[in-house]
Amino acid sequence: MYDIGHFIGGKRVAGKSGRSAEIFNPATGEVQGSVALASNEELRAAVENAKAAQPAWAATNPQRRARVMMKFVDLLNRDMDKLAEALSKEHGKTFPDAKGDVQRGLEVAEFCIAAPQMLKGEFSEGAGPGIDIYSIRQPLGVVAGITPFNFPAMIPMWKFCPAIAAGNAFILKPSERDPSVPMMLAELMMEAGLPAGILNVVNGDKGAVDAILDDPDIEAVGFVGSTAIAKYIYGRGCSNGKRVQAFGGAKNHMIIMPDADMDKAVDALIGAGYGAAGERCMAVSVAVPVGEETADRLIEKLIPKVEALKIGPWTAGNDVDFGPLVTREAQKRVLGLVDRGVEEGAKLVVDGRNFKMQGYEDGFFVGACLFDGVTKDMDIYKTEIFGPVLSVARAKDYEDALDLPMSHEYGNGVAIFTRDGDAARDFASRINIGMVGVNVPIPVPLAYYTFGGWKASGFGDLNQHGADGFRFYTRTKTVTSRWPSGIKDGAEFSIPTMK
């Protein structure tokens, strides 16, 4: 058993609110620790600390700030296994997948070494007689990030790396389900040379989130989680005058054209549908084969592969394909949705509902499930299941296939598998979804591009990481200057124009 408090003012501190939540080992179902849930006062203490530390950090030249990120990258590499182990223990994902979680965050830290370049402004010499105009990007001050359970290393780093490299102080409110890794990341940032108070971790639930949304000194909030909460965060944060980006849930389709390489498409679906037990916002949860003949070939090849998936605890290393779900509630919810799909008339061609892991009977495991004959009106089609459940929705032709993701509420990721460049090009151009894969099932952009969904998958106008990460956590100031003569010639009473 262990207790996780908060990370404030450069060190771990115990929670004082008297409220805490249990941390489970998803593989065994046992409680392994507890995490403090912050009160308003504790959040306020973190903000005060951050506010005091931020001006000196903003005044530190960007190259020096970048050197902290450089060192942080080294430390992440040094501690990769330790971080991945802590992550798997609380999240349940396999050890190689946990390393991937850390690695994709590390790549954002690597990108943020470019802070001096990313923060450069523009300059127009002689925009008028003796007039120069230039723009500068300045940090906002104290900013925050609220993150989900499913990538406890990567998503906090999406948020705090650009914010801190840009000169802000940061309050991170990670998921209460797997809080160990965010605390370790804060420690590594200190070891990398970050001044105390610039990265604070405040653990908590809705109480801490509301305190962040209402805090007058927090200028911006970056959120990732489910759509209902994203909408709430966006509304409340914006009405309090904050800058908010809030990314939500997903239902990602993969279209399989008749000319696609079927073996490659099937392998792609298996990895993207069942990896991390489907607990990824970029998981493919709907396969859309075009034409009955394509659908029959797909199902025939998918069934044995789904049945052969290996499920187990993270300690089994490379011998497992995916692990348990994060909580017992998540397990119940996913099983309930599979039951609902059967009631609705979808064909459950692989039924993982009765899966029991020998020696881990109380773990939050769900066996791999595969539905065929899923249609637009069904709840299992409309809802984000967030479990190891793949639905096959048959389309009669390309336009019919295109219509499914186009008319779906969510717009995070989508993919098309085809050998036809024209179809792929048309698809990428017309689809109303933020991230598109062409023969790539999980098109998660690399750190130097930006990540963000459309429709109910994202609220706000800037994406995460890449150039948008810096834009979101900075504001532009534009200076128009005239030196030194001319100004002495007397006042100008009509509005200046640049004719």
What span, in angstroms and rounded, lies between the C-alpha atoms of 386 and 466?
26
Which residues lie across from 370 on neighbouring strands? 350, 390
Question: Is the Cα torsion angle 76, 81, 82, 83 positive or negative in sign?
Answer: positive
Least Cβ distance, residue 413 to ligand NAD (angstroms) = 9
Q: Is 206 in the site for ligand NAD (CB under 6 A)?
A: yes
What span, in angstroms and rounded, lies between the C-alpha atoms of 214 and 218?
8
What span, in angstroms and rounded, lies between the C-alpha atoms of 278 and 415?
16
Among 112, 161, 238, 281, which one carries the catalytic annotation? 281
Q: Is 245 in the site for ligand NAD (CB under 6 A)?
A: no
Q: Select from 23, 113, 209, 298 the one that contacts ligand NAD (CB under 6 A).
A: 209
Q: Select from 146, 211, 255, 415 the one that contacts ligand NAD (CB under 6 A).
A: 146
In our burial notation (b when 16+ CB lie closer than 10 A, e otherwise), range 183-205 reads bbbbbbbbebebbebbbbbbbbe
> Of the ranges 19-27, 171-179, 191-199, 491-499, which one interacts with ligand NAD (CB under 6 A)?
171-179
> Of the ranges 2-10, 69-77, 98-106, 248-256, which one interacts with ligand NAD (CB under 6 A)?
248-256
> Of the ranges 38-46, 120-128, 172-180, 472-480, which one interacts with ligand NAD (CB under 6 A)?
172-180
Find out whether 291 and 396 touch, Cβ atoms under 8 Å: yes
Measured CA angle at 419 (ends 416, 424), to 5 deg: 45
Whether 281 is catalytic is: yes
Beta pairing class for 218-224 and 243-247: parallel
Q: Is 149 in the site for ligand NAD (CB under 6 A)?
A: yes
Q: Is 229 in the site for ligand NAD (CB under 6 A)?
A: yes
> Of the ranges 10-18, 218-226, 293-301, 419-427, which one interacts with ligand NAD (CB under 6 A)?
218-226
* Joined tokens for residue 268: 């792609």
Decide: helix, strand or coil at residue 74.
helix
Least Cβ distance, residue 162 to ligand NAD (angstroms) = 15
Q: Which of residues 281-340 bind ligand NAD (CB under 6 A)?
A: 281
* Joined tokens for residue 9: 């003012």
* Contacts with ligand NAD, 346-385, as mask; x by CB under 6 A: --------------------------------------x-
Q: Is 24 in the site for ligand NAD (CB under 6 A)?
A: no
Query: CA–CA distance from 447 to each of 76, 77, 155, 157, 464 (Å)?
Result: 16, 17, 12, 11, 9
Q: Select from 7, 170, 247, 470 the one that contacts ligand NAD (CB under 6 A).
A: 247
Residues noted as catalytic: 281
Q: Which residues contact ligand NAD (rule: CB under 6 A)?
A: 146-151, 173, 175-176, 205-206, 209, 224-226, 229, 247-250, 281, 384, 386, 412, 453, 457
